[in-house]
Amino acid sequence: NAGVTQTPKFQVLKTGQSMTLQCAQDMNHEYMSWYRQDPGMGLRLIHYSVGAGITDQGEVPNGYNVSRSTTEDFPLRLLSAAPSQTSVYFCASSLQDRGAYEQYFGPGTRLTVT
């Protein structure tokens, strides 16, 4: 199993550009999520999905869109990038293990918006 994979690893955008961060998992997990990591703030939930065709907002959803057409893939779209979206983005999928959900994280995408 490759686990959770993310592409690209690094990206530089200009303000106003759009792009899609890719996330895929091969563990057949129903639940997937996107977090952003900023210095001194830990990780904050952007959007999540509890299965194909079902998505919902997390703590910081503004400026981001998601869709979930398959169990495996959960892309994150930035429609018009802003400098405030400079961050490291992590995708995760989760598995229920003895009553607790355990999350598996991808390696991250480091995004800089100039």
Stretch that binds other proteins, among 20-28, 67-75, 76-84, 93-101 (CB under 8 A): 93-101
Give dist(CA 83, CA 112) in Å, integer: 7
Q: Are 79 and 66 in contact (CB under 8 A)?
A: no
Kindly tell me which of 81 and 108 has the beta carbon lying closer to other proteins.
Answer: 108
**DSSP strand pairing (87-97 vs 100-105):** antiparallel
Report the run of H or E that residue 92 belongs to, with start and end: strand 87-97
Mask of contacts with other proteins, 23-62, x by CB under 8 A? Answer: -------xx-x-x----xxxxxx--x-x-------x----
Give dist(CA 20, CA 58) in Å, integer: 18
Kindly tell me which of 16 and 38 has the beta carbon lying closer to other proteins.
Answer: 38
Tell me which residues touch other proteins (CB under 8 A). 4, 30-31, 33, 35, 40-45, 48, 50, 58, 90, 94, 96, 98-108
